[in-house]
Amino acid sequence: MTSRIFNLILLAVALTVATPCVSNAQDAQMGQLIGQSMAKVDASDPATFLTCISELKRIDAMYPEAAAPKYYAALQSLNYSVLNPHAEATEGLLADAATLIAALEKCKDADASNLHTLKGFLYMVRIVQDPAQNGRRYYLDVMANYEKALKINPDNELARDLQQKFFDGMSQATQN
């Protein structure tokens, strides 16, 4: 099951990187900085994720009230974690992601649909880490958050693709 989830996560990573990252940026300069940082990510090189996450946190320090740096920092933390579920840095990054999501919830300009997508993604990473134990435990939370994300914004492609691929992967896993 892990390998299937890996596949869909790889797709998710590709989608995420391809998603226009400045759409919610408070201003053009912040958007440009986020874009520059995101462009450095190479999915085959985990270190580039860490560099990107560090830079996004520096951007967050520049714009502490803005939602966009927090959103992308959380997203990249989850991307790294899902690709490297048992790496030394993963638990710290997951804790980081949870903190960033909590901070996002307090941001006035946070997009509720994106917020639920991140929450679903976080539970999904927990399943990837330990499918046998966490699959049953967190499955419903993953699905519920993607459903909420799509209810708020039916055009949230990341949520839709993650939901579909995750559902397919879990269905295949339970049928085998």
Residues near other proteins, by CB under 8 A: 33, 36-37, 50-51, 54-55, 57-59, 61-62, 89, 92, 94-99, 101, 112, 119, 122-123, 126, 132-133, 135-141, 143-144, 147-148, 151, 167, 170-171, 174-175
Give 14 or 82: the residue with its C-beta nearer to other proteins. Answer: 82
The tokens of 32 are what? 């440009």
Q: Measured from the CB of residue 136, what is the shortest distance to other proteins in angstroms? A: 5
CB of 42 to other proteins, least distance (A): 17
Q: Between 12 and 170, name the residue whose CB sits nearer to other proteins.
A: 170
Choose between 14 and 109: whose C-beta lies nearer to other proteins. 109
Nearer to other proteins, 14 or 117 (CB): 117
CA–CA dist 82, 13 (Å, integer): 9
Cα(79)–Cα(17) distance, integer angstroms? 10
Distance CA(132)–CA(2), nearest Å, equals 10
Taking the complex as a whole, the smallest distance from the CB of residue 74 to other proteins amounts, in Å, to 11
Of 14 and 149, nearer to other proteins (C-beta) is 149
Beta carbon of residue 160, minimum distance to other proteins (angstroms, whole number): 13
- Residue placing its CB nearer to other proteins in the complex, 13 or 127: 127
97 contacts 115 by C-beta, under 8 angstroms: no
To other proteins, the closest distance from the beta carbon of 171 in angstroms equals 5
Closest CA to 63 of 22, 4, 97: 22
Least gap, CB of 142 to other proteins (angstroms): 10
